[in-house]
Amino acid sequence: MNPDVAVPEAPALQDPTRFGAFGGRYVPETLIAALDELEAAYAEAGQDPAFHAEFESLLRDFVGRPCPLYRARRLESAAGAGPIYLKREDLNHTGAHKINNTIGQALLALRMGKRRIIAETGAGQHGVATATACALFDLECVVYMGAEDVERQALNVFRMELMGAEVRPVTSGTRTLKDATNEAIRDWVTNVEDTHYIIGSVVGPAPFPRMVRDFQSVIGREARAQMLEAEGRLPGSVVACVGGGSNAMGIFHPFVGDEGVRLIGVEAAGEGVETGRHSASLSAGKPGILHGALSYLLQDDDGQVAPAHSVSAGLDYPGVGPEHSHLRDAGRAEYVSVGDEAALGAFHRLSELEGIIPALETSHAIAYLLEHGAELAPDGPILLCLSGRGDKDVAHVARIEGRGSIL
Amino acid sequence: MTVPIQPDPAATPSSPISRAIRARNDRGQAALIPYVCAGYPDRNASLDLLLAAADAGADVLELGIPFSDPLADGPTIQRATFHALEGGMTVAGALDILREFRSRRDTPVVLFTYLNPVHHYGMDRFVKEAAEAGAQGLLLTDLPAGADATLEGAAARGGLDLIRLLAPTTSPERIPRVAEGGGGFLYYISRTGVTGARTELREALAREIEVIRARVSLPVAVGFGISSPDQAAAVAAVADGVVVGSALVDAMTEGGAEAGGRFLAELRRAMDAVPRNLDAVAASGVTTPEG
């Protein structure tokens, strides 16, 4: 045991850059001014009714919100549990929850007068959502994507390019989301004066985790109201997949104060947590510093970041949002993990049962429900964040299952 | 005529790093501060480069402890870092290199790394062992001033100077706050961006350094992108110290520790040949020589 691996204490509790002891702003000096500027712009926008009005009207007219809350009766039968409701983020424009955040941050970039946007992407959903927002607002867009993910997610690469974004494959390190994020931060450090970095999850230095959560919490606000409308009561449990954790944080946040509601985050166990080839930071990591924040992190005995693994590119990340680390340590949320095989199984099951092809990321949450739904049911209705659609994964899954290359 | 900077009594008393830089400045010269990646290309070669650097006239040395995600570094140091990690370099291994170096040379050493390996090792334990191994300073690229009082205080508690960075984006009002918890010298990043050799220096460098100097008493060293003797000389004309990293790694890659030492000796000669008249330079705004 290293005594200093324990997180810092009391002074951090009052710190607006933190969640409990987690979070903070561990970045090169060059970025401090940009983070201060972003924080100020975000605070100012928060006070500006015109900003809220524009954000909300874009969410309605461009993204297609509110998205439905759908009761999945055949899934209920298969899981032996019910009622189960799916929050249909897959029905948003671009097919995932990611667009909620990119619209919000692009509006902020406009307020700050920054016309060049960079982003990192794993599965490509955040990259597509960023490229979309940039096309909408006529902003220059560069997306960093691990070379391995460029292959796994060829369809999304082409979608980004169609909308005018430049996709830069990243060949350093593990060639996945972690390294794409490193490269995006390097770009930001270099071009900070005219560039805004749209981080795609509730990770990174303050104010990103809080800001992205706020933009994504529309998921939970809508779902909470829809659930009350449909069932006349709050859900007994809320289930969502967790990579960086933005869809989970978005749906959890409005329920954090509802003590009776269980919050369950599902991480990627990859080939099994015991094999070391997984992405389950909260289940198997230790507090550490990566990409600007203190949070649970997969790392080796020498404090080097350990490569993550998951069949789903979007969960293939060794860190996790700091607010999840806080909710975990505070005992407010539970974090479990589901492996590649079960996730692939759930990908098929939901497609067959409900005519909904879920993203591989989301499939982890579905798999958890198929296995443990019956244990959750006595607590009340189950709310699951169907964070994205699986069209982007179809070619990848076909390859894994020996159907050859279909794209 | 050359007007040597007088050492500021407030900055010099106890820090061996500040003293080494000011001693050089007193001779009308700028300090040379090379960066060496521990374990690149292997343990012994990096130790040899430290020794060669000390013998080539380095005043302070930076010993880099490799980290898997060096997000403030450009391609050259990234490659050196990954190579070192693949070769099995560890935090303890880097301290071991330092210990052996210290048994053979007196040149002050700053350990240069990212927060996570140190945090994982245990901040207080690391600082204690680093000081025992012979380090005088610690530079953590991702621990900016004000980020974490507990961690920032650990270096000073353990007797190491915390080397602080300033960037072109650092506001003038923030400069004294950055300097406050720091020691040894202030490392001014000569342009926004990651580490790496570059062919041009910012025109505004002299003026920017003047803004810093007006607010702090620590020596100001400049780094990030200094790759040639001409550039080193241009920076030496206006700064108290010159940090060279990626270009030294490149020299090492091509010709080993011996070539690294030769490269530094060239920089040393070029730097020492340039007159340091800091007031005049600041007034004229002239920063770069021909070439």
Kindly indicate the confidence band of residue B205, based on its pLDDT and cuts at 50, 70 and 90.
confident
Q: How far apart are CA B181 and CA B163, in angstroms?
A: 9
Show the tokens assigned to A274. Answer: 């015991």
pLDDT in tens, A284-337: 999 999 999 999 999 999 999 999 999 998 899 999 999 999 999 999 999 999
Exposed e or buried b per residue across A334-353, where buried means at least 16 C-beta atoms within 10 angstroms of its C-beta: ebbbbbbebbbbbbebbbeb
Contact yes or no for A27/A35 (Cβ under 8 A): yes
Work out the minimum CA distance from A108 to partner chain B, whole angstroms.
20
Omega within 30 of 0 (cis) for the link into A207: yes
* Contact across the interface for B120 and A303, Cβ inside 8 Å: yes
Is residue B9 pLDDT above 80, yes or no?
A: no
Catalytic site includes residue A56: no
Exactly one of A76, A87, A89, A98 is catalytic; name it: A98
Handedness of CA B88, B94, B99, B101 (dihedral sign): positive
B286 or A273: whose pLDDT is higher?
A: A273
**What residue spans of A261-379 are helical by DSSP H?**
281-284, 322-329, 340-354, 360-376
Is residue B4 pLDDT above 70, yes or no?
A: no
For domain B14-284, give the CATH number: 3.20.20.70
* Contact across the interface for B71 and A32, Cβ inside 8 Å: no
Work out the minimum CA distance from A291 to partner chain B, whole angstroms.
8
Any idea where the domains of chain B sit in the sequence? 14-284
Nearest to B69 among A34, A178, A302 (CB): A178
Q: What is the pLDDT of residue B190?
A: 82
Q: Coil, helix or strand for A218? A: helix
Q: How far apart are CA A245 and CA A18, in angstroms?
A: 16
Show the tokens assigned to A260. Answer: 């009776």
Q: What is the pLDDT of residue B277?
A: 62
Kindly indicate the confidence band of residue A3, based on its pLDDT and cuts at 50, 70 and 90.
very low
List the single best residue of B65, B67, B71 to mutate versus A (max A Cβ within 10 A): B71
Show the tokens assigned to B290. Answer: 């021909």
Average pLDDT value for residue range B188-202: 69
Give strand pairing partners of A268.
A338
Residue where the block lists tokens 């790694």: B249
Which chain A residue lies closest to B114 (C-alpha atoms)?
A289
* Mean pLDDT lowest among A143-157, B85-99, B199-213, B224-238: B199-213
Give strand pairing partners of A237.
A262, A382
Handedness of CA B280, B283, B284, B285 (dihedral sign): positive
Q: What is the pLDDT of residue A123?
A: 81
Q: What is the pLDDT of residue B194?
A: 67
Average pLDDT value for residue range B38-47: 97
* Contact across the interface for B194 and A24, Cβ inside 8 Å: no
| Whole-complex ipTM | 0.92
Q: How far apart are CA B4 and CA B22, in angstroms?
A: 10
Contact residues, chain A, for B194 at CB < 8 Å: 186, 189-190
Q: Which residues contact B233 (CB under 8 A, 6 or more apart)?
A: B270, B271, B273, B274, B289
Exactly one of A39, A76, A89, A120 is catalytic; name it: A120
Nearest to B71 among A9, A182, A303 (CB): A182
Exactly one of B73, B152, B230, B250 is catalytic; name it: B73
Kindly indicate the confidence band of residue A149, based on its pLDDT and cuts at 50, 70 and 90.
confident
Average pLDDT value for residue range B178-202: 79
List the single best residue of B192, B202, B246 to mutate versus A (max A Cβ within 10 A): B192
Q: What is the pLDDT of residue B291?
A: 29
> What average pLDDT does the structure give for chain A?
94
Contact residues, chain B, for A192 at CB < 8 Å: 169, 192
Q: How far apart are CA B270 and CA B230, in angstroms?
A: 7
Average pLDDT value for residue range A73-83: 96
**What residue spans of chain B are helical by DSSP H?**
16-26, 43-55, 75-86, 91-102, 115-121, 123-133, 149-157, 175-180, 205-213, 229-236, 246-273, 278-284
Q: Coil, helix or strand for B54? A: helix
Q: Which residues contact B142 (CB under 8 A, 6 or more apart)?
A: A26, A27, A28, A289, A292, B71, B72, B114, B115
Q: What is the pLDDT of residue A407?
A: 53
Is residue B288 pLDDT above 80, yes or no?
A: no
Nearest to A8 among B69, B92, B150 (CB): B150
Which chain A residue lies closest to B78 (C-alpha atoms)?
A172
Catalytic site includes residue A392: no
Q: What is the pLDDT of residue B200?
A: 59
Q: What is the pLDDT of residue B206?
A: 86
Contact yes or no for B179/B152 (Cβ under 8 A): no
Chain A with chain B: Cβ pairs closer than 8 A: 139
Work out the minimum CA distance from A305 to partner chain B, whole angstroms.
6
For residue B198, how many C-alpha atoms fall within 13 Å in the half-sphere facing its CB?
17
Q: What is the pLDDT of residue B78?
A: 93
* Contact across the interface for A29 and B150, Cβ inside 8 Å: no
Show the tokens assigned to A51. Answer: 């900003």
Q: What are phi and psi of A291, to 5 degrees?
A: 55, 40
Is residue A127 pLDDT above 50, yes or no?
A: yes
Catalytic site includes residue A387: yes
Q: How far apart are CA B49 and CA B258, in angstroms?
A: 7
> Exposed, middle or buried by CB within 10 Å (0-12, 13-18, 19+), for A138?
exposed
Contact yes or no for A291/A308 (Cβ under 8 A): no
Dihedral-angle region of residue A85 (phi above 0 means left; psi in -120 to 50 means alpha; beta otherwise): beta
Which chain B residue lies closest to A297 (C-alpha atoms)?
B116
The percent of residues above 70 in pLDDT, for chain A, comes to: 96
- A84-88 sheet: strands from edge to edge: A69-71, A84-88, A382-386, A237-241, A262-270, A333-339
Kindly indicate the confidence band of residue B202, based on its pLDDT and cuts at 50, 70 and 90.
low
Is residue B210 pLDDT above 50, yes or no?
A: yes
Q: Coil, helix or strand for B20? A: helix
Q: What is the pLDDT of residue B14?
A: 80
Q: What is the pLDDT of residue A310?
A: 94
List the single best residue of A18, A22, A26 to mutate versus B (max B Cβ within 10 A): A26
Other C-beta atoms lying within 10 Å of the C-beta of residue A171: 12
Average pLDDT value for residue range B9-36: 87
Is residue A377 pLDDT above 60, yes or no?
A: yes
Maximal C-alpha separation, chain A: 56
Q: Which residues contact B10 (CB under 8 A, 6 or more apart)?
A: B217
Angle in degrees, 0-180, between the axes of helices B149-157 and B123-133, rounded to the nearest 10: 30
Q: What are phi and psi of A305, to 5 degrees?
A: -70, 130
For residue A368, how many C-alpha atoms fall within 13 Å in the half-sphere facing its CB?
28
pLDDT in tens, A21-37: 999 999 999 999 999 99
Query: What is the amino acid identity at position A381?
Result: P
Q: How far apart are CA A65 and CA A46, in angstroms?
A: 20
pLDDT in tens, B140-173: 999 999 999 999 999 989 999 999 999 999 999 9
> What average pLDDT does the structure give for chain B?
89
Q: What is the pLDDT of residue A2?
A: 42
Is residue A404 pLDDT above 80, yes or no?
A: no
Work out the minimum CA distance from B139 to partner chain A, whole angstroms.
11
Kindly indicate the confidence band of residue A406, based on its pLDDT and cuts at 50, 70 and 90.
low
Which chain A residue lies closest to B91 (C-alpha atoms)?
A302
Omega within 30 of 0 (cis) for the link into A66: yes
Exactly one of A201, A361, A387, A392 is catalytic; name it: A387
Q: How far apart are CA A124 and CA A154, in angstroms?
A: 9
Omega within 30 of 0 (cis) for the link into B108: no
* Contact across the interface for B125 and A3, Cβ inside 8 Å: yes
Contact yes or no for B31/B240 (Cβ under 8 A): yes
Average pLDDT value for residue range A161-183: 94
Contact residues, chain B, for A290 at CB < 8 Å: 69, 116
Nearest to A26 among B91, B143, B166 (CB): B143
**What residue spans of A232-332 are helical by DSSP H?**
246-252, 281-284, 322-329
In whole angstroms, how far apart are CA A204 and each of A213, A217, A323?
A: 12, 18, 11
